[in-house]
Each structure stands twice: as structure tokens, then as C-alpha cells.
Structure 1
Amino acid sequence: MLKREWKNLDKVLLVISFLIIGVSLCIIGSATHINKGIINYDFVIRQGIGFIINLALVLFFCHYDYTRLKRFAKPLYVVNLLMLLAVMFVGTSALGAQRWIQIGPITVQPSEFAKIIMIVCTAALLSERVGQLNTFRSVLPVGLFIGIPFLLVLKQPDLGTSLVFLAIGLGMVFVSRIKLSLLRNIAAVGVILAPIGWHFLKDYQKARITVFLDPNADPFGAGYHIIQSKIAIGSGMLFGKGLFQGSQSQLNFLPENHTDFIFSVIGEELGFLGCVFLLFLYFVLIYRGLMIAKECKDPFGMLLATGVISMWTFQILVNVGMTCGIMPVTGIPLPFMSYGVSALTTNMVGLGILLSVYMRQQTMIF
């Protein structure tokens, strides 16, 4: 059985994912190895241990028949809401947001796990509605289903993760063959209601959205991150300054250089060629995922694969865009790259589910 499963495994998808994680460990080590003048590699060690532990999850979901996930959709949705509600009452705060729960020595971010749970739950909901989303009334239950956790995450506040929920939902609704005229009408309603949502954002969130048009308007405040990120990427030029040699990152001018702005470190230390290499790896990753979704004959499996790819694609576009100064800073991590065990776990589970969908389809073919 193991030999047959290994034969049917999408080895390209697996190798590309591990290559990205390998690059991540090198860059995290470079970005964090100097802390207050003392050399240590605590961050890269934690991320490496997280990767090793999460390998078990990849192996589990590879072997696990993804169709069985459908039966757990309803209880998972309830658990998801309870986790997000728990953050409001017993969560810990950092950087002006209450997004984490402390469990002994471990800090977890439930909104990260909520992404993968929402993919499973939304896939189960839409798998019974493929080709039937023709009216606003038929779409409304799906909107409410996604909207409740969206609002709970937005309340933390975590605008970036809440937008990931919308991206996941939009991608999955699109492949469910929603009527395009209906989708245009929903988009038009969203544009009309956007000014109302603006009033519910925190002041720092509004500043982040507006300052990317002119970062120099507040160079030591809201625009500082973008300015330092653009300096770092631009100074790397074609070949970069070399690993562990980036001035913006090593001298701590670049904030959050191991999490949200890790792509800036790549631009500075590995240069344009390093950025192109990483983006090529992401291209192959997304392409393989799309092929898995396209070739899957089971609506539930197709929707699962689409949800995972929608999550990764949106996060890649937004994270790279914000580090280059062409999108607002929203705090969205770069998949498989940014430091954070919770985010890594979510991505590894998504990888395992994708591999499971591919393997089951190959088994059916052969």
C-alpha cells in the first residue's frame, strides 16, 4: 500500500514545497541570528522543529481519504467559531491586536487554523450546490456561512486574515459555476458598501491603506515599513548583497523582517534573481494545485483544492505586493516562508490535503 501511495504521490508539489521551506529557514536564520548584539538561532530552530512536527500532518493527510473530511464539516465549523470567540475573552494581545491564545509555553493563532477549517467547511457546503448558484437567494446562505467567521476575525482586529477568508470563498464560489452576472452584481454591491466598512476600521488600519499611495507623508509612522522595505529590495539589485549581509535587515531598520517582510530580506540579500527564483517556485506550486483541481472529478475534492490554492495565491500576491509598495500593509504572511508555526501548520495541512486529492484521483484512474 505504501509503495502504491508513493507511486501516486505528486512529487513535484512535495519537492517544491520543501524547497520553499528550505529557503525560508535560511532567510529566517539570516534575519534573526543577531538579537541585541548576541548571535542565536532560536527562531530558525523553532521553525525547523515546527516543520519536522508538521511532516507528520502531511503524511497523515496524504494517507487519509479526503472524502471523509466532509462528514466532520459541521462540527468543525462549530469548533472554529468557538476558537475565534475564545480569542475575544482569553486571548493575548500584541502589536495592538488580540489574536493569540497562550497554551502553556505554546502560543497559537486560531485565525490561522480557521483558514483551513473554512476551506473544508465551505467545500462541504458548496459541493451540494455546484451549478445551482443562480440567484441572490441561493448565494445568501454561503455569504452568511463565510461572513460570521469573517466578522469574528475582523473584530480581533485582523483585516489581512479576514480578507483571506473572502478570497477563499470567492475562489470556491467561482468554480462552483456561479452565474457571472450575479457575481458582477455582488461585486458592485461590495463596492457600494465599502465606504461603510471603512468607518469600522481602526485608525492604524486606515493609515496603512492610505499611506501606500504616499509613504513619505508619514515616513516615521505608517509609511516606515514600506519605505524600509523598498530600500531593502532596491539595494539588493541583481545578485543581492549576500546571505547575512543585508544592511537593512541585519541592522534592524526593516521591521518584522522574519514574518511579514521576509520577501524584502530575499530582495536585499539574494537580489532580483533570488526573488525571481522564489516566485518561480510559487508559480509551479500554484500551477500544480490548479491542475489537481482541474483534473479532480469529485466536486468536494475539486473545491478543497481550489480553496487551498485560493488561500496561497491571495497571500502571495498581497504579501509580495505590500513589500514592493504596490499594496497596503495588511500583515498577511508569505506561505511556507514567513516565520510562525501556526501559519506553517495551516500551509502543511493544506499541502497534505492537496496531495490526498491528487493521490485518490490517481488511484481511481489506475
Structure 2
Amino acid sequence: MFNEKSRLSKFKLDFRLIREIDTGLLIATILLVLYGIFNIYLCTKGDLSAYGPFYYVKKQSMSFVLSMVALYIFVAVDYRIMYRYITIFYWGSVALLIAVWIPFIGVEVNGARGWITLGIGNLQPAEVAKFAIILMVAKILDEIDCEVNNIRNIGKILIYVMIPVSLILFQPDMGMTMVCFFIVLGMIYVAGLDKRIILGGFLAIFLAIIVLWNTPLILPHQKARIASIMNPDPDNSANGYQLNQSLIGIGSGGLAGTQPSLDSEIAPGYTGTHVPEIQTDFIFAAIGEQWGFVGIMFLLGLYAVLITRMVNIARKAKDRFASLVCIGIVSYFLFAITQNIGMTIGLLPITGITLPLISYGGSSLLTTTMAVALVLNIGMRKKKIHF
């Protein structure tokens, strides 16, 4: 597809391209990460366990530094060179998903066999696979000229998607499965998929859930999470308790929040609420409680800048592949933000979906930063450099 003569080994950034970088997108990304790190500290500053009050913020800060290195690499190397290695990257992510089941390599966290131990930390292969799916689907759509209403073409896409998604579902990780589904849906919709097919697909999923409700394929805790949305108040189980505490915390934040204290001796819980693992999936509840409506609007404002900038880059991209990659990343952000916030306020089922760039989690932060870096890369190279 491309006649680019550069080599992957060239990691030196051409400074003539710096003036083309989308500074708004870059600044919004860095501010989101820093806002997340600060709120992670506030969530865990009263940790009296062996980890201590600075454990999570130190690890997230280290992940941030690593993410900035990855951002530089993904900005410096022309995305058209990366195009050649997408297939290798895709199958590498599949291999990582399989590796979680190898003894002494894969580890189980919170009931899911979805992590690989690296000695200095754990890697979540599903996060890598999410990124690989975006690239692979964009590559296939480019190769088939976006003819997605052809049965053979759509079948090819589904096969490449279902291989990693099946492995993710088997862990089990329903949250990441949903993320991948909506990423692909957004990409093939923009590519021109018939709306009747989309509606038929949603209907088929709805009917499948009804049919499978009383089978072992839908786990008890997943049913409980769905049921807790319908009637959360009397539910004192782990699922209902988490949602109730989240609602209490966000509600108590008011306009300007509870004015968080930096005193590390104050136990976590703020104004009496305490959400288990609040620094990960439910960090939005902490932001709502400590910073109130003002803090929430600041967060959503940064996300609005980030998403609108990425959409603008997608529209101006030099080629179809680049545009589709941007759309896939935008689809991820839109769904992950909606799902994460929706579950903390009781509008959507509770899943293990992190709030992008905000929640604690090195794998999520690294791959999400890489995705944003790729969009920056595409935006920088939307036109030729003039000497």
C-alpha cells in the first residue's frame, strides 16, 4: 500500500513535524493522566496496609513515565511503516492471551485469568489485544475498500475479531469483550455497514441474552450486577453495596465537592462513603465526591477536547486506513467513558471497564496512551512537509 522508504529502526523525531502536532490533544491527554494520578493518591492516601499510602500513586506515576516513552516512539515512527507490522502485532497479542493460561506466567486477579506476570509488575494482554483489534480491523477494511455489506468481507472481519475476543471472554472479562464489540461496531458503521444489519445484530444479542440467562454462560455475579441496577437500595451484597456507596459519594459532592485534604493520615472514604477498589473502576465516584459538579465538568471538558480533536484528525487523515484507526480509538473512548460513568451512577451494569487515562492500571494507561499517540502521529502526517 505504501512506498515509504523509512525503516522502523529510525526513532528520531523529525522536528519539522512538531509544528504539525495537535497540541490540544496532547495537553488534554497529559492533563487527564495527571488528574487521574492526583485522584488515585486522594483515594489511597489513608491506606494502612502493607502497601502504604503512596504505593498506587508511585506505580501509576511509573506507568505514566513509561507511557510517555511509548508516546514518543509512536509519534516518531511514521504510522505507514507500522502498517507493515500490524499482522505480527495482532498475532503477538493473541499469543499473549493464550500465555495467561501457562503456569508460572499467567496469574489470576479478581477471579479472572487475564494477567501475565513480568516480575516488576503484571501485564493485561486484553488491553494489548484491544489495540491490535483496532489496527487489524482498519487494515482489513482498507484492503476490502470498506465493502462491509459483502458477506465474505464481513465474515473475514468477524473471524479476526472473534479469535482474540473469544480468548478474552474465556478469562472471563465481559467488560473488555463489550469494549471490543463497540470498537468494531463503530468502525464498520463508519465504513458503511447497512443500519438494518446493525439493528438485526442488536436484536440477536438481546435474544441470546434471554436464551442464555439461565445457563452457566452468564455467571451469577453478572446477573447480580444487572439486577442491582433495577433495584439497588435493598441489595446489601458486594454488587449492590458498591453501587450504593458510589451514588452516596457522588451525591454528597454537591457543586464544589468535599474539598479533599492532603493529610495522609485521613483514612480513605471521604465523607463516610467507601467504594471497594475505588481507584480503579469507580474512580469517577471519588472525583464526584471530592470535586463535585465542578470537578466532573472539568473531567468531561478534557474528554470533550480529546474526542473532538481525534474526530477532526480522522476527517483530515491522509488515507483511509489512518481515518479508520482514529475512528476505532474514538469508539473506544466514547464507549468506555459512557459505560464507566454509567455504571457508577446506576444507569448501566457494573463491568470491569476503567475510566480511560484516569483509573489506576498500568496496562490500560500504556495502551491508551499508545492509541492517542498514534492519532497524534496521523495528525502530524496529514500533509507533506515543505522545505
TM-score greater than 0.5 by the shorter chain: yes
Structure 1 position 154, deviation (Å):
0.9
- The TM-score, its normalising length taken from structure 2, stands at 0.89
**Which stretch of the first structure deviates more once superposed, 133-142 or 266-275?**
133-142
Structure 1 counterpart SS, 2:375: helix
**1:11 — aligned with what?**
23
Corresponding residue of 2:360: 339
Q: C-alpha root-mean-square deviation of aligned residues, in Å?
A: 2.1
Distance 1:284 1:260, change over 3 A: same
Summarize deviations over 1:95-116 as a string: whole Å, max 9, x none.
Answer: 2211111121321111111111
Corresponding position of 1:219: 236
Q: CA deviation at 1:310?
A: 0.9
1:3-29 CA distance string (max 9 Å, x none): 312101000000001111111111011
Mapped contact 2:71–2:373 kept (Cα < 8 A): yes
Q: What secondary structure is seen at the aligned counterpart in 2 of 1:222?
A: helix
Report if the CA contact (8 A) 1:70-1:121 is conserved.
Answer: no
For 2:155 and 2:79, locate their aligned partners in 1 and report how far apart those are by CA, in whole Å: 27
Does the CA contact (< 8 Å) of 2:281 and 2:353 recur in 1?
A: yes
Quick check: 1:300 aligned with 2:321? yes
**Match of residue 54 from structure 1:** 67
1:126 Cα offset (Å):
1.2
Contact 2:243/2:344, CA 8 A, preserved across alignment: yes
After TM superposition, list the pairs within 5 Å mapping 1:1-366 onto structure 2. Answer: 2-36=14-48, 40-90=53-103, 91-198=106-213, 199=215, 200-244=217-261, 249-250=269-270, 253-363=274-384
1:365–1:288 distance in 2 versus 1, CA, 3 Å = farther
1:77 partner letter: Y
**Distance between the aligned counterparts of 1:256 and 1:106, measured in 2?**
18
Matched residues in 2 for 1:60 and 1:283: separation?
25
Query: How far off is 1:172 after superposition?
Result: 0.9
Aligned length, in residue pairs: 366
Contact 1:129 1:176 in 2 (8 A): no
Deviation larger for 354-363 or 209-218: 209-218
Mapped partners of 1:300, 1:261: distance in 2: 35
Distance (whole Å) between structure 2 residues aligned to residue 297 and residue 100 of structure 1? 37
CA distance in 2, matches of 1:3, 1:81: 35
The alignment partner of 1:363 has SS state of coil
Contact 1:136/1:182 (CA < 8 Å) preserved in 2?
no
How far 1:247 sits from its partner (Å)? 8.0
Quote how far apart the aligned CAs of 1:243 are. 2.0
**Partner SS for 1:348:** helix
For 2:236 and 2:267, the matched residues in 1 are separated by 19
Q: Which residue of 1 aligns with 2:3?
A: none
Q: Quote the Cα distance in structure 2 between the aligned partners of 1:164 and 1:121.
A: 15
**Cα gap change, 1:365/1:318 in structure 2, threshold over 3 Å: closer, same or farther?**
farther
State whether residues 153 and 162 of structure 1, in contact with CA within 8 Å, keep that contact through their aligned partners in structure 2: yes
For structure 2, list consecutive stretches of 5 or more residues without a partner in the other structure.
1-12
Select between 28-37 and 130-139 the one with higher mean Cα deviation.
130-139
Asked whether the equivalents of residues 102 and 108 of structure 1 are also in contact (C-alpha less than 8 Å), the reply is yes
Amino acid at match of 1:7: R
Q: 1:241 to 1:133 in 2, by over 3 A?
A: same
Equivalent position SS for 1:92: strand
> What is the CA-CA distance between 1:188 and the residue it aligns to?
2.9
CA contact (8 A) 2:43 2:268 kept: no
Indicate if the aligned counterparts of 2:43 and 2:278 stay in contact, CA closer than 8 A: yes
Please state how far the C-alpha of 1:214 moved relative to its aligned partner: 0.9
Contact 2:47 2:268 (8 Å CA) reproduced: no
What is the CA-CA distance between 1:345 and the residue it aligns to? Answer: 0.3
